[in-house]
Structure 1
Amino acid sequence: MRLDRFDRQLLNLVQEDAAQTAERLAEQVFLSPSAVQRRLRRLREAGVIVRDSAVVDPRQVGRPTFFVVSLQVERERPELLAQLRQWLAAQEHVQQAFYVTGEADFVLILTAPDTETYDALMARMVSDNPNVKRFTTNVALSVVKRGLSIPVPLDEDED
């Protein structure tokens, strides 16, 4: 799908705040509210916008601790990796899971109310996934930045 400058502007704006009204977005991109709605619907239907979500303060909902986990597997057989991916995707504490190059095979971002909850999750992961060789954990002392926004250049040839 080709994105024009208006699409790109809208993508940046809705990533910043998806709750903005079509009227407010229209003011910022100089289109009519109905044109904004049509464009957003087309971007969703094409799979450019995958999901709208709210950003929640983890402390307000009892999830104040973040864990960054590097995970190594024993064997990289496709069926074993698929099983682990499926297991990770089903865990509510796993916010993000990346299959990566380098020493680790996966990097995970988890949130939990405390280390006991985290320990229980990791014990279950190792028990349920015998292909897990080892993992190392970093506990986040503070959050400097947290987000999922993808910078969308306004022009197709910009970096």
Structure 2
Amino acid sequence: MDLDRFDRQLLNLMQDDAGRTAEQLAEHVALSPSAIQRRLRRLREQGVIEREIAIVDPKHAGRPGFFIVSLQLERERPEQLNQLRRWLAAQAHIQQAFYVTGEVDFVLVVTAPDTESYDALMARMVAENPNVSRFTTHVALGVVKRGLAIPVPPLEAG
């Protein structure tokens, strides 16, 4: 799908605050509110906008801890990789999971209410996924930046 300049503006604005009304978006994009609604519907239908979520302040959710985890696998057989991917995707406390190149195979962002809950999750992961040979944990001492926005650059004049 080709994104025009209006689509690109809308995507950046929606990633900043998806709760804005079409009227509020129209203040920033040179389109009518009805044109904005049509574009947003099309962007959703075509899968450009996958979903819209609320970002919760951790202070109001019991101050969970954030853990950055590196996983190493014994072997990278397709069936074992797929099983691990499904397992990771099904865990609510695993916010993000990346299959990566380099010395480790996966990097995870995990949130848990405390270290005991984190330890229990990791013990289950190892028990239910015997292909995981090792994991390393980094505990986040503070959050400098947290988000999922993907910058959508404007169209270059041409």
Q: TM-score range by the shorter chain?
A: over 0.9
Q: Give the superposition deviation at 1:58.
A: 1.6
Matched AA of 2:107 = V
Matched, 1:99 2:99: yes
**Structure 1 residue 64, shift from structure 2 partner:** 2.2
Partner of 1:19: 19
Alignment match, 2:136? 136
- Listed as ranges, the gaps of 5+ residues in structure 1 are none
Q: 5+ unaligned residues in a row in structure 2: which ranges?
A: none
Structure 1 ranges of 4+ moved more than 6 A? none
Shift of 1:63: 4.4
Aligned to 1:79: 79
Paired residue type of 2:131: N
Residues 17-76 of structure 1 show CA distances to partners (whole Å, capped at 9, x for unaligned) of: 000000000111010000000000000111100010000012211242000000001110
- C-alpha change, 1:156 and 1:89, in structure 2 (3 Å) is farther
Distance in 2 between the 1:38 and 1:112 partners?
A: 39
In the alignment, which residue of structure 1 is the partner of 2:34? 34
Change (3 A) 1:63 1:130: farther
Distance 1:104 1:51 in 2: 30
- DSSP-derived class of the 2:59 partner: helix
CA distance in 1, matches of 2:92, 2:18: 23
Distance in 2 of aligned mates of 1:47 and 1:156: 24
Structure 2 partner of 1:117? 117
TM (norm. structure 1) is 0.97
Q: How large is the Cα RMSD of the aligned pairs? A: 1.3
SS at match of 2:98: strand
Instruction: Tell me the residue number matched to 1:69.
Output: 69
- Give the distance between the partners of 1:63 and 1:151, measured in 2 at CA: 28
Q: Give the secondary structure class of the aligned counterpart of 2:102.
A: coil
Q: From the superposition, tell whether residues 125 and 156 of structure 1 become closer, same or farther in structure 2 (CA, over 3 Å).
A: farther
SS in 1 for 2:101: coil
Q: Which residue of 2 aligns with 1:8?
A: 8
For 2:52 and 2:156, how far apart are their aligned partners in 1?
A: 24
